[in-house]
Amino acid sequence: MTAQDQIKTTVDANDVVLFMKGTKAMPQCGFSSRVAGVLNFMGVEYADVNVLADDGIRQGIKDYSDWPTIPQLYVKGEFVGGCDIVTEMTLSGELDQLFESKGISFDKAAADKIREANG
């Protein structure tokens, strides 16, 4: 199975996937930590893929999305974006709307707390 096949299988098999440096329990870079922190705080169930564990996946995800940086968030098979985009979407409420429209459960009160703390 090629890296592209592995990525597609992972994205298709999980409602929410974060390709990141490290794991959701132990992120290995600040950007990955920020996105994982948002998802964890909001109580979102997601699969984490540690790109540091496999060079094929690390480069493959950049080719797959045509996006040069990691982390990368996917929701219901759709590429959402990296750290800056996810941060902006969280603060604007767009991430809540995306999760609601896709049927992804999350803690709305936690999302509101993030906005309050960063308002």
29 is in an annotated binding site: yes
- How do the pLDDT tens digits run along the chain, 119 residues long? 899 999 999 999 999 999 999 999 999 999 999 999 999 999 999 999 999 999 999 999 999 999 999 999 999 999 999 999 999 999 999 999 999 999 999 999 999 999 999 97
Q: What is the pLDDT at residue 117?
A: 95
Q: Name the CATH architecture for the domain at 3-117.
A: 3-Layer(aba) Sandwich (3.40)
Backbone region of residue 98 per phi and psi (left: phi > 0; alpha: psi in -120 to 50; beta: other values): alpha
Q: Which of 103, 114, 116 has the alpha carbon at shortest distance from 40?
A: 114
Instruction: Let me know: does 93 contact 36? Beta carbons within 8 Å.
Output: no
Q: Model-level pTM?
A: 0.96
Q: What is the pLDDT at residue 102?
A: 98
Q: What is the pLDDT at residue 119?
A: 78
Domain residues of the chain, as ranges?
Answer: 3-117
Burial category of 80 from C-beta neighbours within 10 Å (exposed 0-12, middle 13-18, buried 19 and up): buried
